[in-house]
């Protein structure tokens, strides 16, 4: 059973999200664990019982009153089960730091939300053979501080997100095995490892065959139900 995490980002209007929420009910999910991660605005549209609901973010302020923030408690009250933390777009454009990521992870855990923690290298880091170094740093810095029951790590090379490029299958296999071993050695736990970055209906067949990859985090292709149907088939 593979995980499929649909990260809709800020892509849809209300009408589009409504249509998607209706169409998704017809998907055959018999062999997949589907997690839909819409814009927070549209979370209440997704009430289906045959998939899980995720949030694209969580506030680092759980107790403080802060305008514009969405707390873990609020997410939980909408039936959210998962939260994406550390996505490269948020690290880059929203200046998320290790400190705020740790706080967010803690706030998710306090509210019984499972964390999908994103890591990944830039193209330059890959060329300089620094991929493993970068990933170890991103994982160790954050997870050292917390105790999580279930560790889900999404490996998303920054240069593969939204570009149509993907690493070759051996590279993905090498990285996912590395992450699993790292988490086992550090925390004595089994990590669930997802791959993300230009996953689509044409490359999914080869990606599914990669050993040690438990599922996929899908951005661009995830807003099109026909494509999602082909991906999870
Ligand atoms: P993409 O996005 O599938 O459009 O590359 C993946 C992601 O950012 O999670």
Question: Tell me: the pLDDT tens digits for 16-43?
Answer: 999 999 999 999 998 899 999 999 999 9
- The pTM score is 0.96
Torsion of CA 87, 10, 148, 144, to 10 degrees: 20
Which residue among 196, 200, 221 has the greatest number of ligand 1 atoms within 8 angstroms of its CB, and so is best to mutate? 196
> Kindly report the CA angle at 220 between 48 and 212, in degrees rounded to 5?
80
220 Cβ below 6 A of ligand 1: yes
Task: pLDDT band for 84, please (50, 70, 90 cuts).
Answer: very high
- Does the pLDDT of residue 186 top 90, yes or no? no
Query: Mean pLDDT throughout 140-147?
Result: 72
Confidence at residue 36, expressed as pLDDT on a 0 to 100 scale: 98
Least confident of 149-153, 178-182, 199-203, 212-216: 149-153
Cβ-contact 108, 85 below 8 angstroms: yes
156 Cβ below 6 A of ligand 1: yes
**Ligand 1 atom nearest residue 161's Cα:** 5
- Does the pLDDT of residue 144 top 70, yes or no? no
Residue with tokens 């494509």: 227
Report CA(65)–ligand 1 centroid distance (Å). Answer: 32
To the nearest 10 degrees (0 to 180), the angle between helices 131-143 and 169-187 is: 30
Tell me how far apart the terminal alpha carbons of the chain are, to the nearest angstrom.
12
Task: pLDDT band for 55, please (50, 70, 90 cuts).
Answer: very high
Confidence at residue 149, expressed as pLDDT on a 0 to 100 scale: 65
Report CA(58)–ligand 1 centroid distance (Å). Answer: 19
215 Cβ below 6 A of ligand 1: no
Confidence at residue 147, expressed as pLDDT on a 0 to 100 scale: 63
Helix (H) or strand (E) holding 52: strand 52-55
219 Cβ below 6 A of ligand 1: yes
Query: Mean pLDDT throughout 176-202?
Result: 93
Residue closest via CA to ligand 1's atom 6 equals: 219
Catalytic residues: 87, 156
Residue with tokens 């095995």: 177
86 Cβ below 6 A of ligand 1: no
Give the integer Cα–Cα distance in Å for 41 and 39: 5
Strands annotated E in 64-196: 82-85, 114-119, 151-155, 191-196
For 178, left (φ over 0), alpha (ψ -120 to 50), or beta? alpha
Report CA(79)–ligand 1 centroid distance (Å). Answer: 24
Which residue among 9, 84, 161, 203 has the greatest number of ligand 1 atoms within 8 angstroms of its CB, and so is best to mutate? 161
User: To the nearest whole percent, how much of the chain has pLDDT over 90?
Assistant: 86
CA 138 to chain centre: 15
């Amino acid at each position: 059973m593979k995980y499929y995490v649909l990260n809709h980002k800020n892509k849809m209007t209300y009408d589009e999200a409504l249509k998607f929420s209706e169409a998704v009910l017809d998907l055959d999910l018999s062999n997949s664990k589907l997690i839909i991660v819409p814009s927070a605005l549209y979370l209440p549209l997704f009430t289906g019982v045959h998939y899980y609901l995720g949030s694209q973010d969580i506030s680092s302020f759980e107790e403080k009153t802060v305008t514009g923030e969405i707390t873990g408690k609020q997410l939980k009250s909408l039936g959210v089960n998962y939260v994406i933390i550390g996505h490269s777009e948020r690290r880059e454009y929203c200046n998320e730091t290790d400190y705020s990521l740790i706080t967010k992870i803690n706030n998710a855990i306090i509210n019984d939300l499972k964390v999908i923690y994103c890591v990944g290298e830039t193209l330059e880091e890959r060329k300089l053979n620094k991929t493993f170094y970068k990933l170890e740093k991103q994982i160790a810095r954050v997870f050292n501080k917390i105790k999580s029951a279930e560790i889900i790590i999404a490996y998303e090379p920054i240069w593969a997100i939204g570009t149509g490029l993907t690493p070759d299958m051996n590279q993905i296999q090498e990285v996912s095995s590395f992450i699993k071993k790292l988490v086992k050695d550090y925390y004595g736990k089994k990590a669930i490892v997802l791959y993300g970055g230009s996953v689509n209906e044409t490359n999914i067949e080869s990606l599914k065959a990669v050993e040690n990859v438990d599922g996929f985090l899908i951005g661009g292709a995830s807003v099109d139900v026909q494509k999602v149907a082909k991906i999870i088939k």
